[in-house]
Amino acid sequence: MKRFKEKTVIVTGAGSGIGRATAIRFANEGASVVLVGRTAKTLEETAKELPLDRTWIHTDTYMTVTCDISVQSQVQEMVRRTVEKFGKIDILVNNAGKATQGRITDLSADDWKSAIDVNLNGTFYVCQAAIPHLIETKGNIVNVSSLSGIGGDWNMAAYNAAKAGVTNLTRTLALDHGADGVRVNAVNPSVTKTNMTSAIQDNNDKKDQFLARSPLGRLATPEDIAAAITFLASDDASMITGVNLPVDGGVSASNGQPHF
């Protein structure tokens, strides 16, 4: 099924993990995809995994753009190039992010600023640049926040603060732009099998502690998160806006008590 035929989709952080899986999913469903990230090599690796037969739209249906989303001028240029090539923007997926560990007493000012710049300010810059175009197409935004943007974690002060900002920015953008015909939602993953969570995946004790809290008893895959993103971006979710959707195997259903 080609739910996104003739749609133009921007995916930030498309070089790996959730962003790569999401870009591939959109392309498989007919979209023209703009792959955005800081490293050209990883973007090209994602591009190689896009479907070869994209003739249901036209012959040139993706573009890679190296862009640091924490730099507003680079974001503006990325959006300009997207519109120049494809003529419009239908869907924006704000996936780029970074994990910064440490208690607030251990973090440097640079650590804090970097976490806020990439996770929160970058989301703001891309939304601000894209929304005028999304108003024209009655498009939508899916932000990739985190379960850490709904509840806290030990030793993750900067990341938690930044993702909480993304979570509430999502709600506010939905309120501000619903009348413009623009829907804004977010997915809030828990531990997912990406490079960002290697410290948990590679530590059996930490992984077992997490899995003990998970009703489904497994880590999410990038493809699990991509499925939720594409649902929220699709017409199947046409009456859904302002939602922060946990994609966490049921972890957030618990009040924290141990399993008896």
Cβ atoms 122, 75 nearer than 8 A: yes
Active site residue 125: no
Annotated catalytic residue, options 159, 162, 197, 251: 159
Cβ atoms 143, 170 nearer than 8 A: yes
Instruction: Tokens for 103, please give them.
Output: 């208690």
DSSP states of 155-195 as a string? TBHHHHHHHHHHHHHHHHHHHHHGGGT-EEEEEEE-SBSSG
Measured CA to CA in angstroms, residue 169 lies from 93, 118, 188, 216, 229 at distances of: 14, 15, 13, 29, 17
Check residue 137 and report its DSSP letter.
H
Instruction: Convert 4-53 into a string of H (helix), E (strand) and C (coil).
Output: CCCCEEEEECCCCHHHHHHHHHHHHCCCEEEEEECCHHHHHHHHHCCCCC
| Distance in angstroms (rounded) separating the CA atoms of residues 163 and 119 | 7
Measured CA to CA in angstroms, residue 120 lies from 7, 30, 80, 114, 204 at distances of: 26, 30, 21, 10, 31
Cβ atoms 220, 249 nearer than 8 A: yes
Instruction: Tokens for 19, please give them.
Output: 């962003």
Catalytically annotated residues: 159
